[in-house]
Structure 1
């Protein structure tokens, strides 16, 4: 096991290869070589609390000291992984608290399926990456094309006036989360373009896609794959997209309860007199 002396300084000074979401297998090999050279690969692969104490470590005081040392080392390794991830990747791992948890998230999301095929982070299918995705190309073509080629159309509602810019509405009619508030994004891909069709028949432009960080009682959370629609006056949470990302929703007694894995209650949204479900969100400091 690596020594803890000056470990924070050692790990913070290590130059790490940048990961931007592609060629994860090659990046992982480089990182594992780096972990091995620093004698910390065990932390990433096994976690720092999983090893059993030896006879020499059996006294409670020695065991507590060992746990503390391992925690310090793991924090240094976690910092290395965080520094290696680009601003577009970091929101996906920001809630992880150990190097093993962070490493597992990256492997599951970016290293492909059991046959080694990469996963596209636009359409979520295996066998190609985002820059080669035909759905991305269709959306960009329709954005720049003529009036008769509208590509993917999303259906939303529009208000002429909205008092609270932090309010989001649960919407079963739109297939993507959408907002006109650019400052809410913690990262945004401004090259992404498409069109959305509002309920009044108007077509408006999508000028980006990214992630929004929000603060909840359970800690920081990220709303991924949110469209930036400058002309949209409402913030819309797609019910379909919430379900796709592992949430479940229960509508009962004039309220909506949103759950995550293992039926853990995330939030309760009360229905208003005009049958809307508004949710007020507090934003993380943006870095878009």
Structure 2
């Protein structure tokens, strides 16, 4: 205890200081004299074993009171010391500070109402660190506890989850769907949110290596170039939409191909990803059919877990006609639209990469043993078109 650090009160955060000082005084077995004071000396009576014992206890209390007063005088800054300099007992010094900085019952009620309002209005900013925000929540909760209103872990967890910005929507959905929030600890939740925030930061810094743009907007066709017989008998035409998407009118089964030349990935671009296990998009208006009841957590490329908002079909227009991408997940907050190479191949299509182009075509022409198209396959005839 000799090396115990005494906090210094300088008019800031009296509630925190008083809690710390109460604990320190209790560990030194001095709090009782600060809280109750020292009993008045008894009247002069004949000395008996009982009176002798009472006198001994009072002398011990007076010694402890002096020691507690010394600690309190040491625990305040010089300009605060003037408030308690005249106090002759530790109780007088403590009560003087409490009355001035904590106030009367009416003042404490006003402070409690102010803290309640601050707690209810507290929201996390988009660019704010999760640790900074949760520290604010915990500090406010501690102040509310000091003023007589204690928040349970369940209440604090609910407050945090409804106060997070949109970038945390996916992890909040996962927690609400898969976790028992009534048994979740605050420290556990904060750890999960910190990990999610770290993954988001890493994702922003990462590059989309090995992914190819796939533009599927309908537009005017570009200039046609001469066929090159060395290039698998496919025409080498400029995209009718943007110059990057190249399609072959001689092969109706070809869905689309994508050039790696594009330097900017727009929101309506689909990335052909060999690492994705499912087709995914964040755009609800792309769907020609959507089942909202299909919701479950999935892992995306950066390692984080998100909750799907539905599953359905998307109809796109290619130069060869309408094509329907089936079994696509709707994932709010997804950075880019993804086409899964494994899902494409498993449905009877083939994916080839030739001279910085990604070509997706019907495998039944080149691979007679491949799976035939059915109503459950990812690509089929669409009922209506969405221009991309």
Which structure has the larger Rg?
2
What TM-score comes out, normalization by structure 2 length? 0.28
Question: Which has the larger share of helix?
Answer: 2
With normalisation by structure 1, the TM-score equals: 0.37
- Which structure has more RCO (C-alpha within 8 Å, separation ≥ 6)? 1
